[in-house]
Amino acid sequence: MKFTKRQEEIVKIVKAGQPVTSEALAEKLGVTRAALRADLAILTMTGTLDARPKVGYVYLGKKLDSDILANLSKIRVGEIMSKPVTVNDATTVYDAIVYLFLNDVGTLFVENDGILVGAVSRKDFLKIAIGGTDIHKVPIGVIMTRMPNIVYGFPEDSAYTLAKKIIEHEIDSIPIVEKVNDSDDEKVNLKIVGKISKTNITKLFVKLGENN
């Protein structure tokens, strides 16, 4: 792994005037602190810099092999996914909310004959619950996000790819599906086999740190 140009610049600034806070680094480089997060995380993890609480960054000079981070993309989602919680599209919004609480999940996936047709998040439910709709009468099929507007993944996708999709689409959870052929026509349907959420990714992050 080679450091990027900006990462090299950060190392140079820290070497010249350590300890250097991330605020000072951001100012010198003319960027926001948020923009430096990834660079500082990489430099800290490779042992090039050390982050001293309440002091700032100092030069440590190690350069650990970061191929291990490249291998993040080899962890398949099929290995870390959870069981999905699904309801039929005729379920009332109220019953669906109760089911959401009983299963303690953030998103319900909606199926019809085992085929993925929609998704409803806690956020969607909250919006409808304060909107004056009679949640005892309206079926979930009316308020759900409907296919093809659902972001999904396959068991062989990498955890990294789907974590990226979660961030890009600003969603909490992605259904993991398998393709099934409809016997009547040539249409390909999606059967839901799992789900991956920010919780799965956070758990993986904790597990990776635990081994050491």
Contact between 207 and its own copies per CB under 8 A: yes
Q: How far is the CB of 159 from its own copies (least distance, A)?
A: 8
Torsion of CA 167, 170, 173, 179, to 10 degrees: -80
Contact between 68 and its own copies per CB under 8 A: yes
Q: How far is the CB of 45 from its own copies (least distance, A)?
A: 4
Contact between 163 and its own copies per CB under 8 A: yes
Contact between 47 and its own copies per CB under 8 A: yes
Pick between residue 75 and residue 151 the one whose CB is nearest to its own copies: 75
Cα separation, 56 vs 43, in Å, equals 13
Q: How far is the CB of 153 from its own copies (least distance, A)?
A: 12
Pick between residue 88 and residue 199 the one whose CB is nearest to its own copies: 199
User: 121 is written with which tokens?
Assistant: 């998040």
Burial class (CB in 10 A: 0-12, 13-18, 19+), 158: middle
List binders of its own copies among 78-117 (CB under 8 A). Answer: 78-80, 94, 97, 100-101, 104
**Sequence letter at residue 14:** V
CB 56 within 8 Å of CB 22: yes
